[in-house]
Structure 1
């Protein structure tokens, strides 16, 4: 009974194929935060997943079968996410799982459910560098992929923003004590220190505490010029209110998880307007991006409002095209074909959307290679399942999140080299 209420039928119902379609299904699992700290992003990401499924089915399905998803709510909790993934694997027998968003939830699913069962896992928003290290150690079995760049990039980008643009010399860091928070905070510390800046305090916190006063009091030591807050929106709002009420410096560095209208609204424009420097993984300009953006607007009546929507769409596309290419029913087959449909320099470029997926199916049926150009970027998965991508610098103006400029992956790589980081 634990799962009662976790399956969201509205989000998971696949659009049926036309009357001539084959009466077979290909099902993939989805574990995203529909409730909890990251619910605002998870709910929108599920819409992007549904759009991709609809586009494949309108294009004729996958290998002649209807593409379907079964969606479970992770509640932004590792134990709940693992239980959901195990149910998808043990009962629904899915060969692939999309999720989660939180790196802590994704890591728990990877180590306890997907990798041991040889099931592919693709995350659209888990950015911890820990996944790269795990893959390098051979502990993912090659079953881990993500359509978003690692925080190894975001940490460097944030340090560049803090030192070079905001002209900060002393920054205090409060970070969530999970793989996401630890990985991003430590990478920022490495890069900011390499620039010549000083981290006055590095203060971890655990979620769902009644108060964060002691953490904030510690973070205020050393006369910092700014606060880098690595948090999820709910707890982040509580921490920041404590910081403001205790007279902390009014310059804030916010990462991707706080690129959320809900968080900005909870704090209030008068505290944030002109005081925020933010970073968030962005999408490279590709031919697929406007196709997916237009499809999302038409289907849901509004534009993208959350990070990682295009990444969620591309997660579905990566799995479905691998299924098509390999006539796959197993995680191992999908794993072995994902790079064949995204990385092949000799493959015919194909885009997202109904027309793009039809073209892909026709080429694969004819035995010709393809190269899927994602809505979030080129999607060239490396040996660790990572992709490269830009970082968008954002601010808060008029109570709204405003994108200011984009740092290319090439520029971040150059800064990383300049700072002597790996």
Structure 2
């Protein structure tokens, strides 16, 4: 099996730590899609990971050592992702893995590689509700975390959009047959039905098919007013072209995975302008957010272009600060200290960026508690490793993705309660 492997490391030439750090490294693993259906997002998320690694090293490293990351390409394929994670664990002996993006790949890594080996896994973009259920069943060992909210929230937000914004009564759903697609489609069906709407068809599809005509034909039955397409960009473009060519209704509901300029460009703005209602997990306004945004633009020459960049930065920060707080680098120790550095209501708030991370290290060295306020939000990991976060409602205008409204977690929770959902 051939991989794209990238190693990011930084020498601390400007600090006294440099000479010692050369023989003292703390390494974390990263498995993200550099190729395949989610490559556009994965490539940008890797930049956010690199930025976080750079910031920690500029702030003094981890426990007196240089922080490094070893990055492998998941190719958006479960088998490839598992093989990469096992290599990171067995050969590189990493105590923590960031990834993957696709819930299907993350689930395979969690059950086959990280949890059995007591290695922490933090995903910046895997949103399937299945992870919450797995944790509640005691099957993650507490080694699973994610810096993005579950699709239990996104499914409710999308149902709200369909009912209150798009004023829809009948929606067909075509969804990717993996944990991400199944979880989000099911949650939407529950919520939209609770609103009194009708899901006219629930049609799964498998990736890498040459045609999706059969799935589209099934979804067109029942005279739907709109299509909710839960897909990744490459296959999603093929499905949507089939839908358009077969005369499907020209109102579309798109989730986070299709919040991608690549996908919008592949379809063409003339087919999507004014016809799209979308949702995507967003970032809450914090002091860390503009710091990371400015650093990202300075380092890479452009701002954030994909979802979950800030979440990827926060995944690194959560691991590194846990290592610093526990003065350790084992998976179990990292697991046990992540909430120590993120959830402590009495801890001193610290931000992302070099200055904020340096302050965090100094406070921890002095035996004081901290509360890391992330670039994606005020991270508070619950017992299942989940966080709460906002959902952004977006549309397509002039061929561009335009954010329209932010739904805060409390608002989504109120809707969930009103609909009688758990």
Q: Same fold (TM over 0.5)?
A: yes
Q: Which residue of 1 aligns with 2:313?
A: 313
User: Within 1, Cα distance between the matches of 2:93 and 2:34?
Assistant: 22
Q: Which residue of 2 aligns with 1:77?
A: 77
Question: Superposed, which structure 2 residues align to 1:97-246 within 5 Å?
Answer: 97-246=97-246
The TM-score normalised by the length of structure 2 is 0.98
Instruction: Please list every run of 5 or more consecutive structure 1 residues that lacks an aligned counterpart in the other structure.
Output: none
Q: Which residue of 1 aligns with 2:8?
A: 13
Deviation at 1:15?
A: 1.7
Q: Counterpart of 1:140 in 2: which secondary structure? A: coil
Q: Which residue of 1 aligns with 2:269?
A: 269
Deviation at 1:382?
A: 0.2
RMSD: 0.6
Instruction: Please list every run of 5 or more consecutive structure 2 residues that lacks an aligned counterpart in the other structure.
Output: none
Deviation at 1:255?
A: 0.1
Q: Which residue of 1 aligns with 2:382?
A: 382
Deviation at 1:381?
A: 0.1
Question: Superposed, which structure 2 residues align to 1:84-103 within 5 Å?
Answer: 84-103=84-103
Q: Give the ranges of 4+ consecutive aligned residues of structure 1 lying more than 3 Å apart after TM superposition.
A: none
Q: Counterpart of 1:70 in 2: which secondary structure? A: strand
Cα distance per residue 1:273-319 (max 9 Å; x no partner): 00000000000000000000000000000000000000000000000
Count of aligned residue pairs for this structure pair: 417
Residue 329 in 1 paired to residue 343 in 2? no
Q: Which residue of 2 aligns with 1:296?
A: 296
Q: Which residue of 2 aligns with 1:284?
A: 284
User: Within 2, Cα distance between the matches of 1:415 and 1:154?
Assistant: 12
User: Within 2, Cα distance between the matches of 1:63 and 1:357?
Assistant: 13
Q: Counterpart of 2:174 in 1: which secondary structure? A: strand
Q: Counterpart of 1:280 in 2: which secondary structure? A: strand
Q: Counterpart of 2:389 in 1: which secondary structure? A: coil
Q: Which residue of 2 aligns with 1:358?
A: 358
Q: Counterpart of 1:168 in 2: which secondary structure? A: coil
